[in-house]
Chain A
Amino acid sequence: MSTEFTLVAIALLAMLTLTAMIISRLRGLYGAAMVAALFSLLTASLFVLMDAVDVAFTEAAVGVGVSTVLVLTVLALTHSREAVTPRNRRLPAVAVVVAAGGALVYASQDLPAFGSADSPIQTHPITDVYLVESQEDIGIPNVVTEVLASYRGLDTLGELIVVFTAGLTVLSLLGTLAPPEDCKPPGRFHLTDYRVIRIVSGLLMPFILLFALYVLFHGDYGPGGGFQAGVIFASGFVLYGLVFGLDRAQQVVPPRVLWLLVSLGPLVYAGVGVTTMLLGGTFLDYDMLNQGHPESGQHLGILVVETAIGLTVAAVMMTIFFGFASRGVTRK
């Protein structure tokens, strides 16, 4: 490892540990949520340092954007101050943590050195398949997109169904969304009264959505793809809902449309799989989509599948946000 790398890694890891400790000490949960956003940003930086640009993208959009907003919304619905942790609960926790941590450190002696090029994961034949053969089979520069959508397409379909199920679960826990006319922001306090917030978020909105589309369709050539695009798209709407009120956000995307989109993604994804089977291939074998040119069949399949992922992820994130936000309205 070069010295610069080591220095940056140590600095980031130190800050990461520090923020994690601060989060565990803070009893004001609003503060903890904000430090958790900082924690996510540091994590994203570490992902970039470790060459995982796609992952960093996702972590930045999810950790700093969506999950912070979710935690803050829930804090507004519940208590934001934590009770003091009783002393008798700390000791067992410390014992478990020391035992588990000790076991991990002991086991880590068998791990290959950090960054070594001859570790089992790097010398496994699959590495060559992904990094070299993929360029002939599929021909898309971003290997992460290839593995995600093509080589491990079935796995990703499973993940998408988990996201879909989580969206349904949140809906069934929180009940159906409040009708738009009930969602008018109550009383004296309007974020839209602040001219800077109103104009800046209004101006940013089209760019955020456009950027999400760029991330979706450029995912073949650079960092990006359906998951990232979906989260970025949703965070644009979350910003809109926060500033202009839930009623106007629901006018833009009515709940019925949202639910259609939530289920459309897995349907399209699995539909591609069934189509390739009908064309004589195996499930999700995109080669079949264009018989003469398996490469362009792969491109088409990956594009459709990534779009399906983006649709469902965006719709599920928006459903979750609307669900929590309108819970506060219906309860009042």
Chain B
Amino acid sequence: MIATHYVYWVLFAIMMIGLYVVISHGNLLKKLIGLSIFQVGVFLFYISLGKVRGGSAPIISPTVQTYSHPLPQVLILTAIVVGVATLAVGLGLAVRIFETYGTVEEDEVITRSATDPADGVPEDSLNGGGGDAAQGDEA
């Protein structure tokens, strides 16, 4: 079992390290880095399922007989680029939160928005009112 499944288990461990960072750490940027670790664990797991013993990269050549499966590679290739694009969205949100509350620590953001609503963004604009948030920022 260990000899045949150790790759999967190590990758599960990496996913779990990422998940741990996402849950336990309060810093929003650290959470995003943790999410990337989790994501990479999933990517590697996908790719490992397509690997064939003694196989080669799926670029057809007359001298090669065995190829690893191309489908997981296609899915993960696009997922990586989508991953960095969504990471950028998360980072953009973190920057806006920092500009409004002066911190990227989750706990402090929650206390500051609860204790001093006049200082921060009004409660309702947090739920999707992008335009309001921008005005609150200028003020």
Asked if B27 and A71 make an inter-chain contact with CB atoms under 8 angstroms apart, the answer reads no
Asked if A36 and B78 make an inter-chain contact with CB atoms under 8 angstroms apart, the answer reads no
Asked if A43 and B40 make an inter-chain contact with CB atoms under 8 angstroms apart, the answer reads yes
Asked if B5 and A144 make an inter-chain contact with CB atoms under 8 angstroms apart, the answer reads no
With A55-B76, A59-B80, A78-B95: A92-B23 Cβ-Cβ less than 8 Å = yes
With A9-B7, A74-B29: A50-B86 Cβ-Cβ less than 8 Å = no
A105 contact set on B, CB distance < 8 A: 9, 12
B37 contact set on A, CB distance < 8 A: 20, 23-24, 36, 39
Name the interface residues of B90-134: CB closer than 8 Å to any CB of A: 91-96, 98-99, 103-105, 107-108, 130, 134
Asked if B19 and A97 make an inter-chain contact with CB atoms under 8 angstroms apart, the answer reads yes
Q: Smallest CB-CB separation from B32: which chain A residue?
A: A71
Asked if A71 and B29 make an inter-chain contact with CB atoms under 8 angstroms apart, the answer reads yes
B67 contact set on A, CB distance < 8 A: 51, 131, 143
Asked if B55 and A51 make an inter-chain contact with CB atoms under 8 angstroms apart, the answer reads yes
Q: Smallest CB-CB separation from B25: which chain A residue?
A: A85
Stretch with Cβ within 8 A of B (4 or more), from A116-124, A197-205, A275-283: A116-124
| Chain B residues within 8 Å of chain A by Cβ, number | 87
Is A17 part of the contact surface with B, judged by Cβ < 8 Å?
yes
Asked if B89 and A166 make an inter-chain contact with CB atoms under 8 angstroms apart, the answer reads yes
Instruction: Name B27's contact: one of A29, A33, A50, A127 (CB within 8 Å).
Output: A29
By size class, the interface of chain A is: 35 or more
Is A126 part of the contact surface with B, judged by Cβ < 8 Å?
yes
B56 contact set on A, CB distance < 8 A: 51
CB distance from A95 to the nearest CB of B (A): 10
Q: How far is the CA of A82 from the CA of B105 in the complex (A)?
A: 8
Asked if A74 and B73 make an inter-chain contact with CB atoms under 8 angstroms apart, the answer reads no
Q: Smallest CB-CB separation from A139: which chain B residue?
A: B60
Of all A-B residue pairs in the complex, the 5 with the closest CB atoms, nearest first, are: A166-B85, A113-B4, A93-B24, A51-B68, A173-B92
| Known A59-B80, A144-B58; 10 more pairs at CB < 8 Å | A24-B25, A97-B16, A114-B7, A114-B48, A143-B60, A144-B73, A144-B74, A173-B95, A227-B78, A331-B99
Interface residues of A (CB under 8 A from B): 1-2, 9-10, 13-14, 16-17, 20-21, 23-24, 29, 32-33, 36, 39-40, 43, 46-47, 50-55, 58-59, 62-63, 66-67, 70-71, 74-75, 77-79, 82-83, 85-86, 89-90, 92-94, 96-97, 100-101, 104-105, 108-109, 111, 113-117, 119, 121-122, 126-127, 130-131, 135, 141-144, 147-148, 152, 155-156, 159, 162-163, 166-167, 169-170, 172-175, 221-223, 225, 227, 230-231, 313, 316-317, 320, 323-324, 327, 331
25 A-B residue pairings within 8 Å (CB atoms): A13-B10, A39-B40, A43-B44, A47-B47, A52-B47, A52-B57, A62-B80, A83-B108, A93-B19, A100-B16, A113-B5, A114-B4, A114-B51, A116-B4, A121-B71, A130-B69, A130-B70, A147-B74, A163-B81, A173-B130, A175-B134, A222-B59, A223-B59, A227-B78, A316-B85
